[in-house]
Structure 1
């Protein structure tokens, strides 16, 4: 486990983008240089999981566009920073991190929502069943393990502590720690941390084992909401609009396929995808998958899921009021599956079986 001395006042400082790093995003476009539109999208995956682009590719929705896996990440802020600087072609993160990145003048736009919270897909903050932690105040002086700092989990923790009536000084005494997701449950059970943030497959697997209970969940805090978006650089969208349209629409179609398809079939397909890619991953946890949690049809962005964090970050002083314009943050232009009407009906039609 890696600890940090960062305070909540430095929330999202993990991004740490300098002017040099951001400016690199306008030139370091690698495989996307030249007049032709790229048909290869570089990306980072998540160990043991099937991302929506990976699902879309397997369903045949990406047409002639190919994904090129360059490695895995456990950090949304790192993923979108890599997209902003041109190391990969798209990245996804918690919307607060997207807002903060844009506030640092990164030339990016959110193009589609890809995860969220609902009754089946949520992140919970778990403690040992026989432990003493029952309230926000009980967290003072305690360690909370999460996948990365300056992102979704830290934001939810901060909101919970604020609503629990803690002063800023007391909130600063709650210590968030970076723990790889696959090790978080074990770290809690071994009492290396006091609270474990668990979501999706890893959450349900831990609950099935027993001995833990939820302190709170993001769904309890905010209800159903889309929590994160995929971003692409302005330059990529300008140079390869057709590829961007295929990609975004394919992800939207994959969201709707996962909603309308029997859960057992979705899990079976995901299991096949993980086995075929040959990364020596355990497929057993996939049986706990329930939902991607995206609130809107085909991942369409309404703006409210970003405005929430623009206002929140401004209230905290992490960004200045008016520093980020909502209209500059996102676009639905490339999402044919999320536009409604006949075009959307065609876009979310039955999948190809060629990728099976």
Structure 2
């Protein structure tokens, strides 16, 4: 979808957007639906899942329809009505909106900070020490056209590689659970590892970071949950309950000891009985959302509108950051706060 993604995937986005425009999402029940179809992640607990378990979603219920390993795929499913909401890297949200999909970001759900960041790791004995050393090497990541590829491109550009040189750095899709193993087996030269999988790899040893996304951009909210505009019009109360509940859960995770959050998430995985391993949850530290309650701002999208325009993926000015999101449904407020 973004730089390095085959042209057919971009054309596929146009088709997805056309379907979304013509069909939208499923028609809401009278008074608005209270059930939200969604995709999860194997062995992980998403913020909405945690919010539901904590009782923060009120009478709104989640309806799991399967798992995904790709943010872009997740929001495509939301755009076409296969699910009611999805979450992805903000650059992927911009790209889908540029392809005329009528979606709107409503809350940030993941990001990078000192506890939750994506690192580009090499083997401890690797000769790779700089951006230029990556020419001709393989970088393993969970999906193309999303957060990891964007960070790689920014890193290469920041360290002076030309577009032609950057294209010689091979991006390889590797399932997240296999990325560390692929690095140690020399199947890839660099492994992109985040959060739980990063902590597990560091504990196992034998790897070192070449760079991290926080070294490039500081603390930032990287991805958002989206609904279609039609779904929002038909179900405003449900969207408000969902967004505010997720916001409340973000703040709950900040003020609750990590071991208690892990204990809660582990129980959720065991209780849902999806034949998955919850062992890696012990490495969780943070969701990494930078703003209070996951509120969104232009800066979270302008970086990607500019970046995509520079690479010819969208036209300059085609997508205005302020048009990609809304905070209208986020009712979370800090105690004693009267700010909007």
Give yes or no for TM over 0.5: yes
Q: 1:26 Cα shift?
A: 3.9
Report which stretch shifted further, 281-290 or 144-153. Answer: 281-290
Q: Which of 173, 198, 215 in structure 1 is aligned with 2:210? A: 215
1:142 aligned to 2:140?
A: no
Once the two structures are TM-superposed, the CA of residue 28 in structure 1 deviates from its matched residue by 4.0
User: Which stretch shifts more, 23-32 or 219-228?
Assistant: 23-32
Pair 1:334 & 2:329 matched: yes
Which region of structure 1 is more displaced relative to structure 2, 139-148 or 13-22? 13-22
Residue 291, structure 1, aligned to residue 286, structure 2:
yes
CA gap 1:49/1:344 in 2 versus in 1, 3 angstroms: farther
- Aligned positions of 1:57-76 closer than 5 A: 57-76=52-71
Change (3 A) 1:8 1:329: closer
Equivalent residue of 2:274, what SS?
A: coil
Shift in alpha-carbon separation, 1:340–1:79, aligned structure 2, 3 A: farther
Q: Alignment partner of 2:332: what SS?
A: helix
Residue 265 of structure 1 and its aligned partner are, at CA, apart by 0.5
CA contact (8 A) 2:3 2:311 kept: no
Counterpart among 131, 151, 161 of residue 156 in structure 1:
151
Distance of aligned partners of 1:223 and 1:18 in 2 relative to their CA distance in 1, 3 Å threshold: closer
Q: Which residue matches 1:22?
A: 17
- Check conservation: 2:37, 2:64, Cα contact below 8 A: yes
Q: 1:43 aligns with which of 35, 38, 59?
A: 38
- Decide whether aligned partners of structure 1 residues 30 and 99 sit closer, same or farther in structure 2, where only a CA change above 3 A counts: closer
Please, which moves more after superposition, 143-152 or 19-28? 19-28
Unaligned runs of 5+ in 2: none
Question: Contact 1:7 / 1:172 at 8 angstroms: preserved in 2?
Answer: no
Distance in 2 between the 1:297 and 1:240 partners? 24
| Residue of structure 2 equivalent to 1:128 | 123
Q: Is the 8 A contact 1:147 1:178 kept in 2?
A: yes
Which residue of structure 2 aligns with residue 236 of structure 1? 231
- Alignment check: 8 A CA contact 2:85 2:227 kept: yes
Deviation at 1:21, TM superposition (A): 2.3
For this pair of structures, how many residues does the alignment match?
340
Distance (whole Å) between structure 2 residues aligned to residue 312 and residue 339 of structure 1: 34
Name the SS of the counterpart of 2:64 in structure 1.
Answer: strand
CA distance in 2, matches of 1:196, 1:293: 20
Q: Deviations over 1:180-207 (max 9, x none)?
A: 1001011111111110000000110010
Distance, in Å, in 1 between the alignment partners of 2:24 and 2:134 is 44
Which aligned segments of 4 or more residues in structure 1 are displaced greater than 6 angstroms? none
Q: Are 1:246 and 2:241 matched, yes or no?
A: yes
Question: Which runs of no fewer than 5 residues in structure 1 stay unpaired?
Answer: 1-5, 346-356
Instruction: Give the distance between the partners of 2:308 and 2:125, measured in 1 at CA.
Output: 36
Note the C-alpha offset of 1:261. 0.5
Distance in 2, Cα, partners of 1:228 & 1:178? 20
Q: Distance in 2 between matches of 1:11 and 1:256?
A: 39
TM-score, with normalisation over the residues of structure 2?
0.95
Task: Output the CA distance in 2 between the equivalents of 1:42 and 1:228.
Answer: 19
Shift of 1:16: 3.8
- Report the aligned-residue RMSD: 2.0
Offset of 1:31 from its aligned partner? 4.5
- Superposition TM-score, scaled by structure 1 size: 0.91
CA shift in 2, pair 1:84/1:73, >3 Å: same
Task: Describe the shift of the 1:19–1:126 C-alpha distance in structure 2 as closer, same or farther (beyond 3 A).
Answer: closer
Distance 1:107 1:186, change over 3 A: same
Q: Deviations over 1:285-312 (max 9, x none)?
A: 1111000000000100022111111112
Partner of 1:274: 269
Given candidates 160, 163, 166, the residue that maps to 1:168 is 163
Note the alpha carbon deviations across 1:138-179, whole angstroms, 9 max, x for none.
Answer: 111111110000000000000111112111111001111111
For the residues of structure 2 that align with 1:174 and 1:335, how far apart are their CA atoms? 41
